[in-house]
Structure 1
Amino acid sequence: MTSPIKKVCLVGANGTLGSVLLAALVQANCFDVSILQRSTSSSTSSASPSIPRIIVSPDLAVDELTTALAGQDAVIAAFPLGQGDQHLRLVEASFHAGVKRFIPADFGSCDAADALPQEYLPLYRRKTLVRERCEAFAARPGSAFTWTALVCGHFFDHGLRHGLLHFDFATRTAQILDGGHARASASTLRRIAEATVRVLQRPEQTSNRRLYVQSFNPTQLEILAALEKAMGEKWTVRQVDSKAYLEDARKRLESDDEEAVLVAVEDIVFVLGALDADWTKRDGFAMELLGLEDERLEDVVEEVVAAYRAEAQR
């Protein structure tokens, strides 16, 4: 039987997802939580500045990380992939340090191992390399190392508010892909955090598995309807052909302009997460396993709209 997880180290605690993960881990009141932080970082967590920090050099060298992570039961990677090398070193160090459970930075917006993500973006190929490294260490004879990949779809509340889902609050304009009828799983930040806590609380059932979670599984047209209801006005719809859009974004990846490349990456992620992310059809759909139920789309959209209006009034 897998032993309980008590000591949890979070890497990337000040990020968009990391800050919500940290709050959920603390609120669960069943973990000893610490934060791995680079020595060059000056940030402190607003969720709980008293949480212990493990300070390491910025390059995240394996030997130093191994020493720093000794005694930890679980490590959660919640910082950007970048070139992926730091994540690979973090996996290796976790294994050598005797960490029981590693949660890689899989999360959203689509399953990195699927064909289209692999084709379009190095980001997803790097995610797959990290997952494969986890699998390799877990398969070693006598290894106590295990992993869980949580795949959650688009970060719905964050993505909706900040235009990443291509619903533009300022202009009340929605880009709708291929008619808008495809269903895609998406998760609020709190759902991802909740699912992560549940994984750690169920170490045996979630060991060495790719698990899929969601807040809901709407179509783009259903999101649009919820937005129009919450805002009390009609939006302008721009129909988009996904294949042409992806090819245009692929060409923009070759630009010398870093900002243009970043936008192209975000556009590709938007399409893949809207058209290739129906987790209800996947083996590993883990809502029942983790004791989770869908949130109500209209309620979440109303929360996002309320936040938008409050910000606009400042």
Structure 2
Amino acid sequence: MASIKTVAVAGGTGHLGAIVVEQLVKSGLFEVTVVTRGEKGGQIPAAVKMITVDYEYVDNLAEALRGFDAVVSVVAGHLSDLQRRLLDAAIIPGVKRFIPSWFGSDTRLPIVKESPLTSGKIKVAVSIQEKVSKGLIEYTSILGGPRVDWMMGSDYCMSIPKRHSTIQ
């Protein structure tokens, strides 16, 4: 595996992204840059650079990702088209490793594949496998299971404190 020194984090100002950025910086092993749309977001550590880019165009993303060894995507899991643009953009300048936003359930499991909630992740997985099989990029998936603690305390899915549930 190639040595990873420079890491771009797409979605690094979001709820989970901020935690990922914090931990990458805390490790002391990487030079970390947040790649953002600039629409919103929280504070980033002083040691972190920020690049604002239009996520809609692969060429713009590719230029923003030039010079990085790895891209960590922490964009919302349902944004499968954006994930695939990030993947394609990472390949153009020769990024070595892509870490997709798959932090929940393992999409390789048949029961997970049947869920309509994972259809976007399945599309991303197929794209990644195609690129990897051609030797264009390496990837790492981090599967920690559903973030039930976050889902139950947020307004996104299930809120126990507010006693409501939202299905999208």
Please confirm whether the aligned pair reaches a TM-score higher than 0.5, indicating the same fold: yes
Cross-structure match for 2:160: 168
Give the residue type in structure 2 aligned to 1:127. K
Cross-structure match for 1:62: 58
Cross-structure match for 2:13: 14
Say yes or no: does 1:75 pair with 2:71.
yes
Say yes or no: does 1:127 pair with 2:86.
no
Equivalent residues of 2:10, 2:71 under 8 A apart: yes
Following superposition, the deviation at residue 158 of structure 1 comes to: 2.3
Q: Between Structure 1 and Structure 2, how many residues are aligned?
A: 168
Unpaired runs of at least 5, structure 1 = 172-259, 266-314
Equivalent positions of 1:275-286 (< 5 A) are: none
1:165/1:68 Cα in 2 relative to 1: closer, same or farther (>3 Å)?
Answer: closer
Residues of 2 paired with 1:100 and 1:55: CA distance?
A: 22
Equivalent residues of 1:113, 1:125 under 8 A apart: no
Q: Please say which structure displays the higher CA radius of gyration.
A: 1
Q: What is the root-mean-square deviation of aligned Cα atoms in Å?
A: 2.7
The CA deviation string for residues 46-72 of structure 1, in whole angstroms up to 9 with x for no partner, is 24155211221142x111111111110
Following superposition, the deviation at residue 161 of structure 1 comes to: 3.8
Cross-structure match for 1:51: 48
Cross-structure match for 2:110: 115
Residues of 1 paired with 2:167 and 2:147: CA distance?
A: 18
> Structure 1 residue aligned with 2:134, among 135, 140, 144?
140
Residues of 2 paired with 1:53 and 1:90: CA distance?
A: 16
The CA deviation string for residues 258-298 of structure 1, in whole angstroms up to 9 with x for no partner, is xx9x8235xxxxxxxxxxxxxxxxxxxxxxxxxxxxxxxxx
Give the residue type in structure 1 aligned to 2:110. A
Following superposition, the deviation at residue 156 of structure 1 comes to: 4.4
Identity of paired residues, percent? 26
After TM superposition, the score normalised by the length of structure 2 is 0.85
Following superposition, the deviation at residue 11 of structure 1 comes to: 0.7
Equivalent residues of 2:13, 2:36 under 8 A apart: no
Equivalent residues of 1:11, 1:77 under 8 A apart: yes
Residues of 1 paired with 2:114 and 2:96: CA distance?
A: 32
The CA deviation string for residues 179-235 of structure 1, in whole angstroms up to 9 with x for no partner, is xxxxxxxxxxxxxxxxxxxxxxxxxxxxxxxxxxxxxxxxxxxxxxxxxxxxxxxxx
Unpaired runs of at least 5, structure 2 = none
1:117/1:33 Cα in 2 relative to 1: closer, same or farther (>3 Å)?
Answer: same
1:50/1:64 Cα in 2 relative to 1: closer, same or farther (>3 Å)?
Answer: same
Equivalent positions of 1:18-33 (< 5 A) are: 18-33=17-32
1:150/1:42 Cα in 2 relative to 1: closer, same or farther (>3 Å)?
Answer: closer
What is the DSSP-based 3-state SS (H/G/I as helix, E as strand, rest coil) of the residue aligned with 2:166? helix
1:50/1:28 Cα in 2 relative to 1: closer, same or farther (>3 Å)?
Answer: closer
Equivalent positions of 1:281-300 (< 5 A) are: none
Residues of 1 paired with 2:157 and 2:89: CA distance?
A: 36
Equivalent residues of 1:13, 1:35 under 8 A apart: yes
1:34/1:117 Cα in 2 relative to 1: closer, same or farther (>3 Å)?
Answer: same
> Structure 2 residue aligned with 1:150, among 105, 117, 142?
142
1:167/1:36 Cα in 2 relative to 1: closer, same or farther (>3 Å)?
Answer: closer
Residues of 2 paired with 1:14 and 1:72: CA distance?
A: 18
Residues of 1 paired with 2:93 and 2:22: CA distance?
A: 25
Say yes or no: does 1:88 pair with 2:80.
no
What is the DSSP-based 3-state SS (H/G/I as helix, E as strand, rest coil) of the residue aligned with 2:141? strand
Residues of 1 paired with 2:159 and 2:59: CA distance?
A: 45
1:119/1:42 Cα in 2 relative to 1: closer, same or farther (>3 Å)?
Answer: closer
The CA deviation string for residues 159-191 of structure 1, in whole angstroms up to 9 with x for no partner, is 4544989783578xxxxxxxxxxxxxxxxxxxx
Equivalent residues of 1:11, 1:76 under 8 A apart: yes
Following superposition, the deviation at residue 30 of structure 1 comes to: 0.9
Residues of 2 paired with 1:166 and 1:23: CA distance?
A: 26
